[in-house]
Amino acid sequence: MKKYLRPSIICISVFSIFALFLAIIIFQTGAQVFPPVPPPDCGGPTIGLTEGPFYKSNSPERKSLIEPGVIGTKITITGYVYDTECRPLTGVWLDFWQADGRGNYDNTGFRLRGHQFTDATGRYTLETVMPGGYTGRTAHIHVKVRAEGKPELTTQIFFPGNPRNTRDGIFDPSLVARKSEGDGMQFYFDFIIASH
């Protein structure tokens, strides 16, 4: 019995040491461990909303819009792009643009503007700041979504609990991101792209 017990103890010890090292690495690097993405709601395609006056083409490719001098509270939005059969779409072009935390757009450069592509699982992740509202508008992030063989979608993402939501004539409750449980400013938003 003892000769079987000893290897088990060694295995448990090695695993414990590995787990301890992993915990130390995560703690020291500040690596962010995201909670799992909730299941998608593929009940219908994501609706389109007005582009507004501030779109600029040829934004830089980047997943993070955070850079020195950007005003606002850091947030992360992540999710998937699906077709209406709930199949994830890879390599989808997403172009984001938004106001900073004080409600101002950069119309001379590309601050808080950037595009990226969904990965091999159909997922995107955007690091940015919580946009501020401006005259007549609640907090929102504009986005264009272009999936191969499908019509381009232009829409906006909104945020839960903003008192300006009910006073914004463009606001649509189906476009509100879901806030993650727990601490931090982590949001989820899935896009469902119609075929026609």
Length of the chain: 196
Count of C-beta atoms within a 10 Å radius of residue 97: 24
Residues 131-150 that bind Fe ion (CB under 5 A): none
Q: Residue 50 to residues 42, 43, 46: CA-CA distances in angstroms?
A: 22, 22, 13
Residue 52 binds Fe ion (CB under 5 A): yes
| Nearest approach, Cβ of residue 141 and Fe ion (Å) | 8
Residue 101 binds Fe ion (CB under 5 A): no
Whichever of 77 and 89 has its CB closer to Fe ion, that residue is: 77
Interatomic CA distance for residues 186 and 131, integer angstroms = 14
Residues 58-97 that bind Fe ion (CB under 5 A): none
The interface region with Fe ion, picked from 48-56, 58-66, 146-154, 165-173 by CB under 5 A, is 48-56
| Nearest approach, Cβ of residue 168 and Fe ion (Å) | 10
Residue 24, SS3?
helix
The interface region with Fe ion, picked from 12-20, 44-52, 110-118, 172-180 by CB under 5 A, is 44-52
Interatomic CA distance for residues 127 and 182, integer angstroms = 18
| Nearest approach, Cβ of residue 51 and Fe ion (Å) | 9
| Sign for the pseudo-dihedral over CA of 28, 31, 32, 36 | negative
Structure tokens at 180: 């993650």
| Nearest approach, Cβ of residue 175 and Fe ion (Å) | 13
Whichever of 45 and 52 has its CB closer to Fe ion, that residue is: 52
Residues making contact with Fe ion (CB under 5 A)? 52
